[in-house]
């Protein structure tokens, strides 16, 4: 599949909790090309947020443990790098983050302008000498300010200078998310991880934000990992969709193949449970399993109508029904 910008291979992450060890990621693979928008879709507890955090290197240190696998970004394994190196060169520089709830990512007592300018200061200021700094800083500030204003204009915020003077609670959810997108674009990253960026938004605002994110990613050739539980939103902006279930990836395909010809029974029933004018109400029987003592083999087998002996004993290998379509199921041809 050519050279990928990021490839996650066989990643195992476990969390220790009061009740035992939860295997939150069980051998997950994911790859993303430059400029590609990949949707990471799944229901709550499927591990999509943990995967996003592993890539960013912000898993909680005291409870999470990466036991196996690699995360190769731009030809270096992030899991082998030192924390401070990731913090200095990767996170917030080459990989940036758009959170689900932009409100809690702002400090409520400073203006939005202060917080963005602050970000520029410690990411870009290279002048150590105090003599030089005094004069240089003023000029640099001026430049930074112009850059921020330009960015706020590209994310289509009305009155960018006014917004910079406001406090986080004075702007609406949609505007905050636009500001987050601007902040994520600021260091000119190569990969943006957007964790459910439109979940908290209304449907018309969601449409605006998705439109904006897609346009900016295309213009700047930035890759995006877009986690969501909303298949509709994934359909809107993704080039490729990977669906996860209980810590395992089930299927990955180009967006058209994914929605037109799903091959994994989980994808099939997930699409089937979407409300539609024609379809009846088909949920998936049973519940999402707990990740402490999860089902053996393919974790979907207890809820799967196709489950066979193999599914219970061993997790299926990767199948490639076509070049850009990966499925991990013992019955990949069933829907042909």
What are the strands of the beta sheet with 95-98, ordered from one edge? 95-98, 191-195, 223-228, 37-41, 240-245, 248-254, 325-327, 319-322
Task: Write out the two tokens for 243.
Answer: 């669906």
Nearer to another protein, 142 or 256 (CB): 256
Rounded Cα distance, 304 and 245, in Å: 12
User: Quick count: other Cβ atoms within 10 Å of Cβ 108?
Assistant: 9
Identity of the residue, 274 or 318, whose beta carbon is nearer to another protein in the bound complex? 274
The tokens describing 163, both together, are 């917004």
**How many residues lie near another protein (CB under 8 A)?**
40
Q: Report DSSP letters for 28-55, one per residue.
A: EEEEE-TT-EEEEE--TTSSHHHHHHHH
- List 3, 76, 118, 158, residue binding another protein (CB under 8 A): 158
Residue 273 and residue 29: Cα distance in Å, rounded? 26
Ranges within 56-115 binding another protein (CB under 8 A)? none
Q: Which is nearer to another protein, 92 or 174 (CB)?
A: 174
Minimum CB separation from another protein for residue 35, in Å? 17
Cα 313 to Cα 317: distance, rounded to the nearest angstrom = 13
CA distance 61 to 140: 36
In the complex, least distance from residue 156 CB atom to another protein, rounded to whole angstroms: 8
Q: For another protein, which residue of 60, 122, 283, 305 counts as binding (CB under 8 A)?
A: 283
Q: Applying CB under 8 A, which part among 69-77, 97-105, 180-188, 270-278 lies near another protein?
A: 270-278
Using the minimum distance from each CB to another protein, give the nearer residue, 65 or 229.
229
220 contacts another protein (rule: CB under 8 A) = no
Task: Please give the C-alpha separations between residue 237 and each of 8, 162, 191, 278, 289, in angstroms, as whole numbers.
Answer: 22, 30, 15, 25, 29
Tell the smallest beta-carbon distance from residue 43 to another protein (Å). 4
Q: Which of 107, 276, 296, 313 binds another protein (CB under 8 A)?
A: 276
* Binding-residue pattern over the window 197 to 216 for another protein, x denoting contact by CB under 8 A: -----xxxxxxx-xx--x--
Of 213, 206, 321, which is closest to residue 267 (Cα–Cα)?
A: 321
- Per CB under 8 A, the list member of 275, 317, 323, 336 interacting with another protein is 275
The binder of another protein chosen from 220, 259, 294, 310 (CB under 8 A): 259
Cβ partners under 8 Å of residue 195, min gap 6? 49, 52, 97, 98, 99, 100, 227
* Residue 68 DSSP SS3: strand
According to CB under 8 A, which one of 231, 244, 304, 327 is a site residue for another protein? 231
Stretch that binds another protein, among 99-107, 123-131, 137-145, 268-276 (CB under 8 A): 268-276
Q: Report if residue 175 touches another protein, rule: CB under 8 A.
A: yes
Q: Which residues bind another protein (CB under 8 A)?
A: 43-44, 158, 172, 174-175, 202-208, 210-211, 214, 229-233, 235-237, 259-260, 269-271, 273-277, 281-284, 287-288
């Amino acid at each position: 599949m050519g050279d990928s910008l990021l490839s996650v291979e066989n990643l195992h992450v476990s969390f220790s909790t009061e009740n035992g060890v939860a295997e939150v990621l069980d051998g997950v693979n994911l790859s993303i090309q430059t400029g590609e928008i990949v949707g990471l879709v799944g229901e709550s507890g499927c591990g999509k947020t943990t995967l996003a955090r592993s890539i960013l290197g912000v898993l909680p240190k005291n409870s999470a443990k990466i036991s196996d696998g690699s995360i190769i970004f731009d030809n270096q394994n992030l899991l082998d790098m030192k924390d401070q190196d990731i913090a200095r060169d990767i996170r917030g520089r080459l990989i940036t983050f758009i959170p689900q709830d932009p409100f809690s990512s702002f400090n409520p007592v400073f203006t939005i302008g202060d917080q963005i300018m602050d970000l520029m200061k410690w990411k870009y200021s290279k002048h150590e000498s105090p003599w030089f700094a005094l004069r240089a800083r003023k000029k640099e500030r001026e430049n930074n300010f112009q850059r921020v204003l330009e960015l706020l204009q590209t994310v289509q915020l009305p009155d960018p200078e006014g917004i910079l003077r406001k406090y986080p609670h004075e702007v609406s959810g949609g505007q905050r998310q636009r500001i987050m997108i601007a902040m994520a674009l600021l260091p000119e990253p190569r990969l943006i991880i957007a964790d459910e960026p439109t979940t908290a938004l209304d449907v018309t605002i969601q449409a605006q934000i998705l439109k904006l994110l897609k346009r900016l990613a295309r213009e700047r050739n930035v890759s995006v990992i877009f986690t969501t539980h909303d298949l509709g939103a994934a359909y809107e902006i993704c080039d490729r969709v990977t669906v996860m279930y209980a810590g395992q990836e089930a299927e990955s395909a180009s967006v058209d193949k994914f929605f037109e010809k799903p091959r994994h029974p989980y994808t099939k029933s997930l699409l089937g449970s979407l409300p539609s004018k024609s379809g009846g109400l088909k949920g998936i029987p049973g519940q999402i399993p707990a990740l402490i003592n999860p089902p053996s083999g393919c974790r979907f087998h207890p809820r799967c109508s196709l489950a066979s002996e193999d599914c219970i004993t061993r997790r299926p290998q990767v199948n490639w029904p076509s070049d850009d379509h990966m499925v991990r199921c013992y019955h990949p041809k069933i829907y042909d």
